[in-house]
Amino acid sequence: MMLSWTLIYAGIFFLSLFLSLVLTPFSENLGKRLSLIDEPHERKFHKKTKARSGGIGIFLSFLGTLVLGVVLALALQSKGSLIREGVSVYIANLMSVMPKLIGLLAGAFFIFLVGLIDDRKPLNPWIKLVCQILSTVPLIMVGIRIQLFLPSWVGIILTIFWVVFLTNSFNFIDNMDGLSSGIAIIVCVVMVYVSWQAGEWFMIAMFTCLAGSILGFWYYNFIKSRLFMGDGGSLFIGYMIAVLTILTTYYNKGVPTALPVLTPLIILGVPLFDTISVMLIRIKLGKPLMKGDTNHFSHRLVDLGMSPKQAVIFIYVVTFCVALAALPLAYLPLRSALFQAVQVALWFVLIFLLERVGKKKIEMEKQNNSG
């Protein structure tokens, strides 16, 4: 039987999932030994002490699958009779992408270590920010940056901003069981389709590997509610998604408009909306921008009467619906594409208005009850 892309991607997904299911309990026990513990707190929903070391399982399963996949690919390169011709061409070019892959892994490993240190003993928010900026240095060194027909220095600045902002977004939104990991899985699944549209087979493999690695943890976090991913996990996931979305191609010759460049912004609309809205609330209330609170999208839904699990599932649905809206941009003419982009923006306006009305109603009920 010859290896096809379908078999390769299935193998990548199930291997990363299997490793994650095995390594997550290991990371839970390791976290308890290393005092990577999350205690109950007034702004948290869990009532008992849990390990916040699930990120170790995510990172190791992703890295293990990736390394094993590269080794197998190079080993199969000499076995041309076992590989379909269309696959063998890409395997032969694998070494040409190794510098970028090494740069990506170097930055991801650094930010993962920063997260682990923060899980052990909270770092000063500004030190974390500096470390996040430093994590982009390997990317710049190997030429990973946002293009968009811009001067290189502008692309570098945008790359740093995008990576840092999205890394923080997944860190901020990790405030309920299954929330950050579930959103990341949905984003990866949609990005697999985007990469398939662009014919970027390596990117499909990367997103598939990341999705499987996160899904194993998600099972123990959302279904079993045994442990948290911690900053080590959320920073790693945010960093990986930020960099992989930079490496993905959205605009090709023959596309009706340039609006497909908005694809990653739309697909990642929910975590971006959460981060921006929380920042605005903190500015309005005069609170520190980098200090955690209960003003996130998920918290606001709970305030409106949802249970934490209902809020998480609701956000899953919103994330998937918003992400799907980005897919037709590659085919639509200018007017239709603009309508599509405006429609997505209006969804978030609608959510904002519903939240605001619900909050005012709750405040009025509290006033009436106190009176």
Tell me whether residue 266 is in a domain. yes
- Across 270-300, b (16+ Cβ under 10 Å) vs e yields bbbbbbebbeeebeeeeeeeeeeeebbbbbb
Query: How confident is the model at residue 357, as a pLDDT?
Result: 75
- Across 156-176, b (16+ Cβ under 10 Å) vs e yields bebbbebbbbbbbbbbbbbbb
Tell me whether residue 347 is in a domain. yes
Range of 259's domain? 255-371
Tell me whether residue 283 is in a domain. yes
Tens digits of residue pLDDT in 252-311 = 776 777 788 889 999 999 999 999 988 888 888 887 777 777 778 888 888 888 899 999
Task: Tell me which H or E stretch contains 136.
Answer: none
Tell me whether residue 37 is in a domain. no
Under DSSP, the state recorded for 212 is H
Residue ranges in the chain whose pLDDT is less than 70: 1-4, 41-47, 76-93, 254, 361-363, 365-366, 368-371
User: What total of structural domains would you count in the chain?
Assistant: 1
Tell me whether residue 183 is in a domain. no
Query: How confident is the model at residue 256, as a pLDDT?
Result: 74
Q: Are strands 37-38 and 50-51 parallel, antiparallel or unpaired?
A: antiparallel
Tell me whether residue 305 is in a domain. yes
What is the model's pTM?
0.91
Tens digits of residue pLDDT in 215-258 = 999 999 999 999 999 999 999 999 999 999 999 988 777 677 77
Q: What is the dihedral of CA 286, 287, 293, 297, to 10 degrees?
A: 40
Tell me whether residue 121 is in a domain. no
Tell me whether residue 326 is in a domain. yes
